[in-house]
Amino acid sequence: MVKRPNILITGTPGVGKSTLAKELASITGFTYLCVGDLAKEEQLYDGFDEELDCPILDEDQVVDEMEEKMAEGGVIADYHGCDFFPERWFQIIFVLRTDNTLLFNRLEQRGYSDRKVEENVQCEIFQTIYEEAMESYRAEIVHQLPSNNPDDLERNLLQIQAWLQKWLLDNN
């Protein structure tokens, strides 16, 4: 049993995962792990998707690369997918959700192609990441959080910190 839990912050690109995860890591002293950055640094890819203009993640290599870090506990992982991570890694999963119009604007500001914006907004509309999380993990560890504005960010930080304090009391 880990002394500190691992937390997954997931959701469609543009919902605020990195902002929340970095802030939470700063407050808690946990290790922030951006899976996309890790894949880029270590070249953990299995090709390139020309249509969406992005590399294709080699999920097995990513899991191998993360295994040791996750075993120690105290990691806040940030990624837009979740179904390939081993269930044993995470004690809680937060799926961030954003209003479709806000998400559309955020992705356009990032310079995403029309196709990529459309794909990601559709993903949010159909709750794809939430459903992926519910199918991949025990329902009681998967939670949705709104992520539309700075007030949501503050509420989410407080809620996650409260959960963390309870987990630490119950497990140490």
- Tell whether residue 110 is among the known ligand binding residues: yes
- Tell whether residue 18 is among the known ligand binding residues: yes
Residue with tokens 């605020």: 16
- Tell whether residue 28 is among the known ligand binding residues: no
Tokens of 91: 């004690």
Parallel, antiparallel, or unpaired: how do β-strands 54-57 and 75-79 relate?
Answer: unpaired
- Tell whether residue 14 is among the known ligand binding residues: yes
Rg (CA), the chain: 16
**Residue list, annotated binding site:** 14, 16-19, 110
**Residue list, annotated binding site for ATP:** 14, 16-19, 110
